[in-house]
Structure 1
Amino acid sequence: MKSYFRGRLFIVGVGGFEFDCGRLLPPKSQDKKVLGVFSEVNKEIQLLAAEAV
């Protein structure tokens, strides 16, 4: 099901992110805070996907 969704989300205090196929896409910004959030969210998505299997 997750592969059917594509869109954008906004995290207050961090900024906007695009997602596709259940993962955040790499941000255009090279800000360390943004990159850290991007990495953390994708790691959590991987953990949730692994638990579901």
Structure 2
Amino acid sequence: MITADVGLASLALGKGSSVLSPRGKKYEKETIDIVLQFRYLSSVERQKGKCGKRS
């Protein structure tokens, strides 16, 4: 499976599938939790207005 959606990649890994990003990076069960944590932390920072375009 090839996907840019990290959440979907996590679900697919849980079902035993092999998952690649569009750039060819292989997602693995051992590291998907870290990727999901970074995604969550980035979301929190964006909500606080600390990332993205500046006024």
| TM-score under structure 1 length normalisation | 0.40
CA radius of gyration, larger in: 2
Q: Which has the higher strand share?
A: 1
| TM-score under structure 2 length normalisation | 0.39
